[in-house]
Structure 1
Amino acid sequence: MTTTAPRRRASISDVARLARVSVGTVSNVLNRPDRVSPATRERVVAAIDELEFVPNGSARQLRAGTITTAGAIVLDVANPFFTDVARGIEDRLDEAGYTLMLASSDEEPEREARYLRLFEEHGVQGVMVVPATDELDHLESLRARGLRVVLLDRPSPSDTLSSVAVDDRAGAAAATQHLVGLGHERLAFLNGPHSIRQCADRSDGIRSALAAADMDPDEALVEVTIRSLNADGGQAGTQRVLALEDRPTAMVCVNDLTALGALRSLRIAGVPVPSGMAVVGYDDVAFAGELATPLTSVRQPTHQLGYRAADLLLDADDTVAHVTFQPELVVRESTTGVG
């Protein structure tokens, strides 16, 4: 029996050789077609077609001198909050005939930077990013190179980077006011690192609400920093709270996944909710109201957040704009004990 050796995949060098141009010119055709003359671009695209270097659909986009793809980087696409945000992005991009490249940074700046490089190499029209840190110089550089950039779920401190965000200070303050109104005098806050802007803003919101209620935040609040903003992180953080000698009677969680882990930890420890510990989540994802003890949570307009971010990215004038949504506290049994 005879076998046919698999055909070697064409490289960018093969394309350059066939089109009689440099590798750099091929790269420009792939990523920045406006920098290449129409005649040269046509020759490179013909070589790409002949060698099947890229799918035909992409080649057709290259002939038109446009690449209708946008990138988005969130902290964790497995988090239902970001899943809903991504759907909003996708819906808006689909209306404009764009496709979405989606990635998770896992809260790691190096991973974020790696995906940004990958997106740029693939010639995306722009990127929407939930920054992993407060450092935004790399995003400013992308913008300076002509790539559209929108900060997602993060207010922009810059007059060159557009942003779409929710007022996290207001959301955390509303959760705190609710718990204080129920008579709680000592709260725990399961939070991520303050290098993540949302975490810092939610901490500020809780502290400001306690101060407004004539309570000393340093006395009335125990902030527990967790390594992972998911259910496992919430479970581990709750174990630390339960080990405190002066145990808080209520807990605010940085997101609903963290709250899910907190509820699991409380159940294992035999602590009733809310009589032994009231729990508030953040995001109001789909499962929040379906738990055995429905979760009080700060609702964010997730779909609108993503949709508006994509809308700014697609703005024909490429103007810088800042959009801020207001959150809403949804009260359920995890704090009140009644439906």
Structure 2
Amino acid sequence: MGQATIQQVAEAAGVSPSTVSNLLNGRAERMLPETRERVSAAITRLGYRPNRAARQLRTGRTRTIGLIVPSVGNPFWGAFARELEASALAHGFNVLLCNSERNPERERDYVEELWDDGIRGMVLCTSLPSLDHLAPIVERGLELVTFDRPAQADDPGSVVSISIDNVMGAHLATQHLLDLGHTDLTFVSGSLGSVNRAARFRGFCAALEAAGIQIPDTPGWSGHDDVPFGDVEAAEVGRRAAHEIFDRPDHPTGVVAINDMTALGVCRGLRDLGLTVGVDVSVVGFDDIILADLYDPPLTTVRQPIAQMARLAVEEILSHGTRAQTEPGRSVLLRPELVVRESSGPPAQRRAADS
């Protein structure tokens, strides 16, 4: 038996071939829900598979979304990729995943390769300060959504950005420690040379300043010249920072880390030094990856609503083609949420005074 045709699917569902085509091409809003379900059932029953090569020749694009992340070595990006793929599949799109290591040349190369393969919609997870390396291909019609990076003044006009308020998130984390009674805090990160990392550091400093705590000349640990962004090495960055910061008696009592993997590395480093997380030193992360709740003690962190953000990114890609070419992009900024667990508690001296 040969492969089913679109005409056979239409006949089985009792609709026209154009109705089947509307569903296959992401135009399901043009039909009633019961019609959509009937067509989907016929596609499944007949095992119909669209001819992708023919569709690309006809439309100049594939039903694939390009997703470029820094590195799935950080579980946050793996979780986001899974959520984005689920949203894309619900609309009949596939996802092609690339890892850029936050390198602008790799970002550009991947974008150009995906474009050459007929992929016109891409989600770029980057927080590099500039998108100049992608401006020429955006001008050619690339439908670009940036994730984890608020819009910047010199971004191409059509780019859509989706991010949380990183300043607010770090402020929430820092304020939580201040409310517990901590006054000697440090910020641990790899390089601060990205938009979101710099924003989180600003949030940390702003919370200290609002509490009337003088910001020291070096209020955080961003490593040394040989410390990278830390997407792959994040845990080791945190562990290294813990050994340098806490191997002395007058160490800080609280840590705000750039992300959860760095925070977990800090926790490991504190254990190396014989310190108890949540008792001797409180640690707060950022992202709420799956490991945060599984660690011992469970990690207090700032949650990003990645399922909602992934859904918005896919919707922006799908709606991009319906917008006028001259219509500007937009910036979506979502609120983070503090999740309090056992890695944070009152400082030891306050705990002793209260007992």
Normalised by the length of structure 2, the TM-score is 0.75
Corresponding residue of 2:290:
286
Matched, 1:118 2:110: no
One-letter amino acid matched to 2:166: D
1:226-305 to 2 correspondences below 5 Å? 226-227=227-228, 228-229=230-231, 230-243=234-247, 246-305=250-309
Q: Tell me by how many angstroms 1:326 deviates.
A: 0.4
Q: Which runs of 5+ in 1 are unaligned?
A: 1-55
SS in 2 for 1:209: helix
Instruction: Give the C-alpha shift of residue 75 in structure 1.
Output: 1.2
Deviation string, structure 1 residues 219-250 (Cα, Å, up to 9, x no partner): 68233334224212211122121246742111
Match of 1:15 in 2: none
Give the superposition deviation at 1:122.
1.3
Partner of 1:93: 88
- Per the alignment, residue 160 of structure 1 pairs with 158
Structure 2 Cα separation of the partners of residues 147 and 224 of structure 1: 35
* Number of residue equivalences: 284
**Percent identical:** 34
| Letter paired with 1:180 | L
Give the AA of the match of 1:116: V
1:330 aligned to 2:339?
Answer: yes
Task: Compute the displacement of 1:183 (Å).
Answer: 1.4
Alpha-carbon distance in structure 2 between the residues aligned to 1:171 and 1:57 = 46
Q: How does 1:167-182 map to 2 (within 5 A)?
A: 167-182=165-180
**Whole-Å separation in 2 of the counterparts to 1:197 and 1:238:** 24
Q: Please state whether the residue corresponding to 2:272 is helix, strand or coil.
A: helix
The Cα shift of 1:110 comes to: 2.2
Aligned-partner residue type, residue 249 of structure 1: T
1:68 to 29, 53, 63: 63
TM normalised by structure 1 equals 0.78
Is the 2:150–2:163 contact (alpha carbons within 8 Å) kept by the matching residues of 1? yes
What's the CA shift string for 1:155-204, capped at 9, x where partnerless?
Answer: 11244311110000000000110111111111111113222111101000
Residue identity opposite 1:255 in structure 2 = N
Shift of 1:152: 0.7
Q: 1:92 to 1:312 in 2, by over 3 A?
A: same
From 200, 208, 211, the equivalent of 1:210 is 208
Deviation (angstroms), 1:276: 1.4
Q: Which runs of 4+ in 1 moved over 6 A?
A: none
Provide the secondary structure at the position in 2 that maps to 1:211: helix
Q: Which residue number in structure 2 is paired with residue 53 of structure 1?
A: none
Residue 144 of structure 2 corresponds to: 149
- In 2, the alpha carbon distance for the partners of 1:94 and 1:114 equals 25
Change (3 A) 1:174 1:220: farther
How far 1:251 sits from its partner (Å)?
Answer: 0.7
Match of 1:317 among 318, 322, 327: 322
- The alignment's C-alpha RMSD in Å is 2.2
Q: Which blocks of at least 5 consecutive residues in structure 2 are unaligned? A: 1-49
Q: Is the partner of 1:336 in helix, strand or coil?
A: coil
SS of the counterpart of 1:218?
A: coil
Greater displacement, 110-119 / 266-275: 110-119
Q: Does 1:222 align with 2:227?
A: no
